Structure formats: structure tokens, C-alpha cells
């Protein structure tokens, strides 16, 4: 058995087409959705991500505002710029690209963003809304994973989902979203003994640890859905995930590739959050 591919690239194109229609409807009413991105420093990966986000916005008719700052930008100056964007009614979504230089507290920065413009879905108010099941902005990566499952007709209800990773950005919100979809959820992490004992029980396995080949074929239940959130580099410098893709694909029923799986969906859901913020502002 060879697993079917959960094609994030193709689905992201569909999501962008949906967002473009919503943007066009808002523009017809005289409102152009706008995403502001702040980039501090010259991290090459961050620069690439930001460039892609700008292209995505342009492709759906959104305005993209990019603020670039040197790595030695004082934290107070960054917070002041966020306050300006919060107060600007023409800006609907705000994103500060992570990671930030060590002298800047990311928690303070995320907390400074207006919850009504929280395009990344990282604000504590967004996290609280997710926790209790209220409407709010969802973190883009787990949000994209849920859309992948939905598009493939994979219902989490009644299934055992195992999430490997407990970050605030992916692991925890992923577990909550699966729980809300009526999965039975186990969260594993670096202190979990005998990880394979848990992963082999998973009907839906989400790998979000940031370490290549953490999940090997013998750790996967035959026919399982495997969602690989990892973005790593292999020995040749090529992009790879947290799973041993070639081997795991021979065991799993569905699997996301890296690249071309979760990554494009993360960017697509950023557009969804931004257009939703603009729609809320127009009500």
C-alpha cells in the first residue's frame, strides 16, 4: 500500500480563489483588505516567508504593507509601530515575523497586536477563544491541517489523533482543534517515554517537532493519516519534514509531502484570517 498524498499546494490554490472572491466583494464596497507584516533583522528564511506572503496577498487583491527593520531595533520602537498599525483603520491584519532578535520578547510583541487584527492567531485572546470554542482567529498551521483533512473527507470524529509536539503555535492548538472535531487526542512531546507506543495507536498522526525523520515507518499504524508539519533540511540541504517520507508512505493511508503539504496551507489560511478580519471591520 502506498499512501495517497494530501496535496496542500493544490488545496491552497482553491483557498486563494475563495479568498479572492471575498476580497473582490469587499473592494466592491470600497474596502480593500490589507495585511501589515513587520520583519526585524535579516534571517534568510524569514525573508523568504515574507516574500511569499506578499505574493499571496497580491494574487488575491489584498494590499500588502511591509515594514523592514534592522536587527538592533529597540523593543519599544517595535511596540510603537504595532500601536500605529492597531490604530490604522486601513490595516486589517498584523503579523510580526518570528523568530525575533533575542533582545525582543515575542510574547510581549504578540500581546501588543490588537486581537481584532491578529492574523497569525497567536494572541492570548485568540488562544482563549479556541480553548472554549468561541469564534476567533485560528493559528494558521493547524487551521490549514484541518482544512486538508476536511478536503480529503477525513472526519476526526471517533478517531484517535496523536499530536507530537506541544508548541503554542502548532501542537497545542492542533490538539484543541482535533478535540473540537470529536477526535480522542493524545499529545506527545520531548518527555514522552517510548514515543512509538503512542504513535502506533494513531488514526491521525500529526508530527510537529522540528526534527527530521523523527517519525519512522515502524512508528506508524497501517492506513493512518500522517500530517507532517516539519520544515527541516536533510543532509543534502533539501527541505524535508519530521517523517521519513519515503518509508512512511508505504505504511500510511494518507500523508502530506514536504514541501507541498502543510506549508502552502499555512500561508493560505493567513489570507483567510486577514479577509475575515476585514469582513468583521465592515460589519
Q: Which residue has the cell 515594514?
A: 67
Q: What is the DSSP letter of 97?
A: P
Q: What is the DSSP letter of 223?
A: T
Residue 47 annotated as catalytic: no
> Which residues does 183 contact at the CB level (< 8 Å), separation at least 6?
156, 157, 158, 159, 160, 161, 204
69 CB-contact burial (10 Å; exposed 0-12 / middle 13-18 / buried 19+) = middle
Among 7, 56, 118, 120, the active-site one is: 120
Rounded alpha-carbon distances, angstroms, from residue 73 to 78, 97, 100: 7, 14, 10
Residue 120 annotated as catalytic: yes
CA distance 21 to 226: 31
**Relative orientation angle of helices 140-151 and 262-281, to the nearest 10 degrees:** 110
Q: Which residue has the cell 484541518?
A: 146
CA distance 120 to 266: 10
Cell of 36: 501589515
Among 7, 56, 97, 244, the active-site one is: 97
Give the count of beta carbons closer than 10 Å to the beta carbon of residue 281: 16
Residue 53 annotated as catalytic: yes
140 in Cβ contact with 169 (< 8 Å): no
Rounded alpha-carbon distances, angstroms, from residue 277 to 28, 34, 133, 195, 270: 17, 9, 18, 39, 11
Q: Strand runs (DSSP E) across 140-193, as ranges?
A: 160-164, 184-188
Active site residues: 53, 97, 120
Amino acid at each position: 500500500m502506498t499512501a495517497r498524498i494530501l496535496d496542500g499546494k493544490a488545496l491552497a490554490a482553491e483557498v486563494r480563489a475563495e479568498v479572492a472572491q471575498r476580497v473582490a466583494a469587499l473592494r466592491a464596497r470600497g474596502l480593500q483588505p490589507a495585511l501589515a507584516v513587520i520583519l526585524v533583522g535579516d534571517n534568510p528564511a524569514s525573508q523568504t516567508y515574507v516574500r511569499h506572503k506578499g505574493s499571496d496577498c497580491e494574487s488575491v487583491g489584498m494590499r500588502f504593507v511591509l515594514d523592514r527593520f534592522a536587527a538592533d531595533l529597540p523593543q519599544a520602537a517595535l511596540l510603537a509601530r504595532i500601536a500605529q498599525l492597531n490604530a490604522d483603520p486601513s490595516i486589517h491584519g498584523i503579523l510580526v515575523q518570528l523568530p525575533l532578535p533575542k533582545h525582543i520578547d515575542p510574547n510581549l510583541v504578540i500581546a501588543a497586536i490588537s486581537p481584532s487584527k491578529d492574523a497569525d492567531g497567536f494572541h492570548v485572546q485568540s488562544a482563549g477563544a479556541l480553548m472554549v470554542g468561541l469564534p476567533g482567529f485560528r493559528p494558521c498551521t493547524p487551521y490549514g491541517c484541518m482544512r486538508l483533512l476536511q478536503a480529503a473527507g477525513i472526519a476526526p470524529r471517533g478517531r484517535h489523533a496523536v499530536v507530537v509536539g506541544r508548541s503554542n503555535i502548532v501542537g497545542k492548538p492542533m490538539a484543541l482543534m482535533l478535540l473540537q472535531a470529536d477526535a480522542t487526542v493524545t499529545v506527545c512531546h520531548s518527555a514522552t517515554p517510548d514515543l512509538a507506543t503512542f504513535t502506533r495507536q494513531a488514526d491521525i498522526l500529526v508530527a510537529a517537532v522540528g526534527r527530521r525523520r523523527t517519525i519512522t515507518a515502524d512508528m506508524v499504524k497501517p492506513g493512518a493519516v500522517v500530517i507532517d508539519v516539519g520544515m527541516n533540511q536533510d543532509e543534502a540541504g533539501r527541505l524535508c519534514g519530521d517523517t521519513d517520507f519515503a518509508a512512511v508512505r508505504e505504511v500510511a493511508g494518507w500523508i502530506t509531502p514536504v514541501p507541498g503539504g502543510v506549508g502552502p496551507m499555512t500561508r493560505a489560511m493567513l489570507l483567510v484570517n486577514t479577509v475575515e478580519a476585514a469582513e468583521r471591520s465592515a460589519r
